């Protein structure tokens, strides 16, 4: 019997010292207070979408989605229209180039337009002569053929102007040799390798662009949370230096690595859904990410001091039929929300009460003595 009494004392001592509770020992005069007065209970809360843990998180992209953009034609940089960190859409102007090679095409196009005008004038004249009985159908047919040939020649020259060697260039109007060089797709300019006044050729790398749709935020997530991550999981990411009045970027869970870091016991997880418009975010930008999980059955929020460590198990003391004899219930701790903890347990219900402060060591010893 003494052995049983000693065991009970050890268990209750472990419970009292293992809880996240710094309640000082009660004075002798307080020991006469009822257990209900010395113990405080609080109901558990059903966990809706709550933060589990805040982690370092950084912006990343696969190398295959980073493009090196070269000028579509040889020329000179008249003006740069983007800078490092600029977000661009497809067809956004990147630079203004002076392209001497366009001079030949421009002159040919001007000559072809004049020939077409002359062919149109001749066709009109032959139509009028035929109507007055002065011309022949053969002359009209020859004029029509000449007009068709002139029109085809002009179209071929214009096609040459828009050929692959000048792809990405567009005319701003007029007959000058300056053209706008436009982005081939949406993304973020991560580097600018040219400057105004520089001569460039199709062999030069002028800009580095990352496809914005392929950028992800990576975070090293504790291994114990991996099983809970699915398509409904979210990450709220705030880049370092992000204005405090601005909301973080809310991203969706994408995938995770298969390898677990043996030292930190974490797994690299990736989240996608970064907005496609502006922002000073570049691959490698670091920040903090908060993981959010949606409401699920069996997940509860309790005060931090309610969770105890007993015999290498996390748990809470819940109210039984006798409030003076709370029962220990093992739970899984998932994360923290300010001063509360998120726990998982299928045995806890909405109306369950947990001990949040107080001590029941003396009462437990007394009950054991009476039972002996």
Using CB atoms within 10 Å of the CB of residue 315, give its burial: 0 to 12 exposed, 13 to 18 middle, 19+ buried: buried
Question: Do 105 and 171 have their domain in common?
Answer: yes
The pLDDT value recorded for residue 245 is: 67
Give the CATH number of the domain where residue 345 resides: 2.40.420.20
Q: Residue 161 domain-assigned?
A: yes
pLDDT tens digits along 109-130: 888 899 999 999 998 998 888 8
Residue 149 resides in a domain: yes
What is the C-alpha to C-alpha distance for residues 355 and 16, in angstroms, rounded to an integer? 11
- From the list 102, 110, 108, the residue with the least C-alpha distance to 179 is 102
Per-residue pLDDT, 27: 45
How high is the pLDDT of residue 4? 38
Which residues contact residue 243 at a Cβ distance below 8 angstroms, ignoring those fewer than 6 apart?
none
Q: How many CB atoms lie within 10 A of CB 41?
A: 18
Q: Exposed e or buried b for every residue in 340-363, given b needs 16+ CB within 10 A?
A: bbbbbbeebeeebbbbbbbbbbeb
- Cα–Cα dist 142/151, whole Å: 14
Chain-centre distance for alpha carbon 364: 53
The domain tally of the chain equals: 2
**So what's the pLDDT on residue 5?**
38
Listed residues 127, 148, 176: the one ending a domain: 176
Instruction: Out of 176, 210, 227, pick the residue that ends a domain.
Output: 176
∠ CA(62), CA(64), CA(68), 5° rounding?
Answer: 115
pLDDT for the residue numbered 167: 62
Q: Which of 131, 158, 176 marks a domain boundary?
A: 176
Residue 61 lies in a domain: no
Residues of the chain with pLDDT under 70: 1-38, 48-52, 63-64, 103-104, 106, 160-167, 173-175, 244-245, 276-281, 294-296, 358-372
DSSP state of 106: H
pLDDT of residue 342: 83
Q: Which of 281, 275, 242 is nearest to 85 (CA)?
A: 281
Q: For the chain, how long is the longest CA-to-CA vector?
A: 138
- Is residue 288 in some structural domain? no
Which position has the token pair 């903090």?
A: 288
For residue 158, CA distances in Å to 92, 99, 173, 175, 186 come to 23, 16, 15, 13, 27
- What is the reported pLDDT for 31? 46
Residue 122 inside a domain? The answer is yes
- The count of C-alpha atoms lying within 13 angstroms of the C-alpha of 330, restricted to the half-sphere facing its C-beta, is 4
Please indicate, yes or no, if residue 313 is contained in any of the structural domains: yes
Q: Are 71 and 94 in contact (CB under 8 A)?
A: no
Rounded to whole angstroms, the Cα distance separating 73 from 202 reads: 6
Question: Is 265 within a domain?
Answer: no
Q: Which domain holds residue 160?
A: 101-176
Residue 309 domain-assigned (yes or no): yes
Q: Which of 371, 298, 355 is nearest to 42 (CA)?
A: 355
- CB-based contact 108:161 (threshold 8 Å): no
């Amino acid at each position: 019997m003494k052995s049983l009494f000693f065991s009970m004392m050890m268990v209750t001592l472990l419970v009292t010292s293992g809880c996240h509770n710094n309640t000082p020992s009660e004075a002798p005069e307080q020991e006469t207070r009822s257990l209900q007065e010395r113990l405080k209970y609080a109901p558990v809360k059903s966990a809706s979408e709550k933060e589990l843990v805040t982690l370092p998180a950084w912006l990343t992209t696969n190398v295959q989605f980073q493009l090196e953009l070269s000028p579509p034609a040889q020329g000179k940089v008249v003006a740069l229209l983007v800078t490092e960190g600029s977000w661009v859409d497809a067809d956004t102007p990147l630079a203004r180039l002076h392209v001497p090679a366009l001079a030949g095409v421009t002159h040919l196009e001007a000559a072809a337009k004049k020939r077409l005008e002359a062919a149109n004038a001749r066709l009109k004249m032959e139509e009028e002569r035929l109507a007055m009985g002065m011309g022949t159908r053969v002359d009209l047919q020859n004029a029509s053929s000449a007009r068709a040939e002139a029109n085809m020649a002009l179209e071929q020259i214009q096609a040459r102007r828009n050929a692959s060697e000048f792809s990405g260039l567009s005319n701003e109007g007029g007959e000058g040799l300056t053209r706008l060089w436009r982005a081939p797709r949406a993304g973020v300019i991560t580097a600018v390798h040219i400057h105004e006044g520089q001569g460039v050729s199709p062999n030069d790398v002028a800009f580095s662009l990352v496809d914005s749709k392929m950028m992800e935020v990576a975070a090293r997530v504790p291994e114990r949370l991996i099983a809970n991550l699915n398509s409904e999981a979210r990450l709220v990411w705030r880049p370092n230096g992000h204005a405090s009045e601005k909301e973080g970027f809310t991203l969706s869970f994408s995938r995770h690595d298969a390898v677990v870091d043996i030292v930190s016991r974490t797994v690299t997880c990736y989240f996608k859904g970064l907005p496609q418009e502006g922002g000073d975010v570049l691959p490698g930008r670091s920040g903090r990410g908060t993981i959010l999980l949606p409401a699920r059955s069996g997940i509860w929020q309790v005060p931090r001091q309610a969770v105890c460590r007993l015999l290498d198990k996390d748990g809470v003391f819940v109210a039984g039929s006798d409030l003076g004899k709370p029962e220990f219930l093992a739970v899984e701790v998932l994360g923290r929300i300010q001063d509360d903890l998120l726990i998982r347990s299928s045995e806890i219900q909405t109306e369950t009460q947990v001990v949040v402060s107080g001590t029941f060591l003396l009462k437990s010893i007394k009950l054991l003595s009476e039972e002996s």
